[in-house]
A and B are shown apart, each in its own frame.
Chain A
Amino acid sequence: MEVRSGVNVADTQQSQKQHFHVLAVDDSLTERKILERLLRESSCKVTCVDSGDKALEYLRLLDGQESDSTASSSSTQSSQQEELKVHLIMTDYSMPGMNGYDLLKRVKGSSWKDIPVVVMSSENVPSRIRKCLEEGAEEFLLKPLQLTDVNKLQPHLLKSLVHSNKDISSCTDNDNDNIIDITMINNNKVISKRRAVSPEPLETITKMKGLAVV
């Protein structure tokens, strides 16, 4: 797709952005409300659940559901089942029952393992942070969350969207749309200064940053 005018690109950007679906997991009603607003401010569609179990149920990972599940980050369609797309999971660490770390482990050991998972906590515990990052969390965010924290998630969302779009048997146009979007979003949003060109350096920096929060 050729970029003919700013309006065209903005439209594409808007429609692509609306495809970001975040699953937010937090046992606090107040905090769910704020998180949902923050994510919608970043043009994400949000599904909120109040526990790890509900999150697993939503992802169709509970025992009994798994055998039926064809859900994944790819867009391979099952003719019977509606495709479930989630681009990012954000979970609180301290929750009654299954905590954020347990949820992270379950997700990383499932068909959803390629979905970025971000863990949040009000407590700055280095060993906890390290544990989560080692288990595969993309980021560990300290609460209370602000818009700048949510902006840091853009690269992960884009990566997830691009990753899922790659599986669509589509014409070249779609790929070009993604590239344009990445450029536009990076230019418009205030992301953290460590803006990576490729995913790897950002992840490394993110993980190091997580560990450095003492």
Chain B
Amino acid sequence: MDGVVQLQKQLVDYSASLFDEGILDEQFNQLQQLQDESNPDFVVEVVSLFFEDSERLLNELGKALEQQTVDFKKVDAHVHQLKGSSSSIGAQRVQKLCIGFRNYCEELNTEGCLKCLQQVKHEYSLVKTKLETLFKLERQLIAAGGSIPT
């Protein structure tokens, strides 16, 4: 029983830290509230789609910014999509960076855009790692016979 209590505390603390550090925001809570017995893996499923979407978009952004003549409309469209999906899952830092990124697009500033892309990639990588850790802790807790505190 001690093991379960320990795991539960670990999960709660880890989860809290993600919110405290601004990596996740309230929207992530909204997703968790939509998870229930009929939709037991909802959060993991949505987040997996987010990873898929993001990796594709980051790839496209890299290619678009490498072009001789950068199509800023295209770049902006990709960033807008990334901003939307990150916002919908509560990946706050990624979303915020996208706002600055769009400003550089408006200014037709390739260097600014490239810098933003690096930052977004970094933050994306961070939120991905953190969420994967969170899901791992949840699995461990469930495997030990515990349940995820709401």
Same complex? yes
**Chain A CB within 8 A of B80 CB:** yes
Given contacts A31-B85, A147-B34, contact A96 B50 (CB under 8 A): no
Query: In this complex, what residue of A is CB-closest to B52?
Result: A29
For A115-138 the 0/1 string (1 means CB < 8 A from B) is 000000010000000000000000
**Chain A CB within 8 A of B142 CB:** no
CA–CA, A188 to B125, complex, Å? 42
Q: List 12 A-B contacts (CB under 8 A).
A: A28-B53, A28-B81, A28-B84, A30-B46, A31-B88, A34-B46, A37-B34, A37-B42, A38-B34, A122-B83, A144-B90, A147-B33
Most buried by B among A30, A38, A94: A30
CA–CA, A146 to B30, complex, Å? 7
**Chain A CB within 8 A of B70 CB:** no
The listed residue (A30, A38, A146) touching B89 by CB distance below 8 A is: A30
Q: How many residues of A contact B (CB 8 A)?
A: 18
Query: In this complex, what residue of A is CB-closest to B85?
Result: A30
CA–CA, A29 to B42, complex, Å? 14
**Chain B CB within 8 A of A27 CB:** yes
Given contacts A29-B49, A34-B31, A147-B34, contact A96 B77 (CB under 8 A): yes
By Cβ-Cβ distance, the 3 closest A-B pairs, closest first, are A30-B85, A144-B88, A30-B49
Q: Is B84 a contact partner of A29 (Cβ separation < 8 A)?
A: no
The listed residue (B77, B80, B81, B88) touching A34 by CB distance below 8 A is: B88
For B51-86 the 0/1 string (1 means CB < 8 A from A) is 011000000000000000000000001001101110
Chain A residue contacts of B31, Cβ below 8 A: 34
Most buried by A among B45, B83, B87, B90: B87
**Chain B CB within 8 A of A105 CB:** no
In the complex, how many angstroms separate the beta carbon of B85 from the nearest chain A beta carbon?
4
**Chain B CB within 8 A of A195 CB:** no
- Among B28-46, those with CB < 8 Å from A are 30-31, 33-34, 39, 42, 45-46
**Chain A CB within 8 A of B10 CB:** no
Given contacts A28-B53, A29-B53, A37-B39, contact A143 B77 (CB under 8 A): no
Q: Is B34 a contact partner of A33 (Cβ separation < 8 A)?
A: no
**Chain B CB within 8 A of A102 CB:** no
**Chain B CB within 8 A of A41 CB:** yes
The listed residue (A30, A37, A41, A94) touching B80 by CB distance below 8 A is: A94
In the complex, how many angstroms separate the beta carbon of A166 from the nearest chain B beta carbon?
33
CA–CA, A122 to B102, complex, Å? 14
Most buried by A among B80, B88, B89: B88
Q: Is A30 a contact partner of B34 (Cβ separation < 8 A)?
A: no
**Chain A CB within 8 A of B119 CB:** no
CA–CA, A72 to B53, complex, Å? 35
**Chain A CB within 8 A of B27 CB:** yes
Chain A residue contacts of B77, Cβ below 8 A: 96
In the complex, how many angstroms separate the beta carbon of A188 from the nearest chain B beta carbon?
17
CA–CA, A96 to B60, complex, Å? 15
Q: Is A122 a contact partner of B34 (Cβ separation < 8 A)?
A: no
Chain B residue contacts of A147, Cβ below 8 A: 30, 33-34
Q: Is B46 a contact partner of A27 (Cβ separation < 8 A)?
A: no
Given contacts A37-B34, A38-B34, contact A30 B83 (CB under 8 A): no
Chain B residue contacts of A122, Cβ below 8 A: 80, 83-84, 87
In the complex, how many angstroms separate the beta carbon of B43 from the nearest chain A beta carbon?
10
Chain B residue contacts of A27, Cβ below 8 A: 81
